[in-house]
Amino acid sequence: MRKIRHLGVALAMVVLLLAGAGITSAAVQLGSMMNDGAMGNQNGGMGSMMGDGMGSGGMMGSFDEDKLFDLQFIDQMTMHHEGAIMSSEHMISDSKRPELRKLADNIEESQSGQIDRMQDWRDEWYPDAEQASGMPAGMMDEMMGQGMMEQMMGGSMQEMMGGDAADEMFLRMMIPHHQMAVDMSEKALERSEHPELKDLSRKIIDEQKAEIELMEGYLKEIEKAEKG
């Protein structure tokens, strides 16, 4: 019973990570799974409440024609990257699969650097711009870092869900998450006013397409192992 209760908390944390990163559709889907499946009775419908509460949230990847595109892109991609970093840290950084641990390291190193670069450009290009709605840069790390998530769950996602389940959930979540970054970056190639942002967008497209291919392969291996 305790393991089931902790698993419900673990899934709730994933929903919060997704919502914080602006991945509303995936968060709502996971929330529905929590409510409709075995977790529903244990968490008192927590998934449904999260899904209902986030259903009208912001649309990541949607850009207002009346606002500065580059500023919107920086704010959205920063939040998007933070979601990937936090998810990989809490879901696969201690995976038994070395290739997933390496993926988590690569995501953290590459996307942290890109966040820093985008925030420098934001300060330089838009010094008077107000903070975008949602979590400011770095807030997700402050909220979920320093072992807070593990303390709430009584262990890591790998421990609570089991390694295979956590790895598979991460891959199923992160493949479309990466694709969203690719789609946003392709828009930036068409609409950005700054060549620096276009160069970064090309890098994001190349990196995340390559990681999508890797993750699809890892997922096939897990599915094959499950079928025995």
* pLDDT tens column, 139-183: 555 544 445 555 544 456 767 776 688 899 999 999 999 999 999
Query: 66 in helix, strand or coil?
Result: coil
Question: What's the rounded mean pLDDT across residues 36-54?
Answer: 40
> CATH for 61-227?
1.20.1260.10
User: Which are the contacts of 68, defined by CB distance < 8 A and separation ≥ 6?
Assistant: 126
Question: What's the rounded mean pLDDT across residues 31-38?
Answer: 47
pLDDT, residue 131, reads 77
Neighbours of 216 (CB within 10 A): 12
How would residue 55 be classed by pLDDT, with cut points 50, 70 and 90? very low
- The more confident residue out of 11 and 36 is 11
Q: How far is CA 119 from the centre of its chain?
A: 19
Alpha-carbon distance 140 to 61, whole Å?
19
Write down the domain spans for the chain. Answer: 61-227
Token pair for 133 = 């709605």
The answer to whether 217 and 103 are in contact (CB under 8 A) is no
Instruction: Please choose, from the candidates 38, 44, 45, 47, the residue with its C-alpha nearest in 3D space to the C-alpha of residue 18.
Output: 47
Alpha-carbon distance 212 to 225, whole Å?
20
The answer to whether 4 and 151 are in contact (CB under 8 A) is no
Residue pLDDT, tens place only, 65-76: 999 999 999 999
The percentage of residues in the chain with a pLDDT greater than 90, rounded to a whole number, is 53
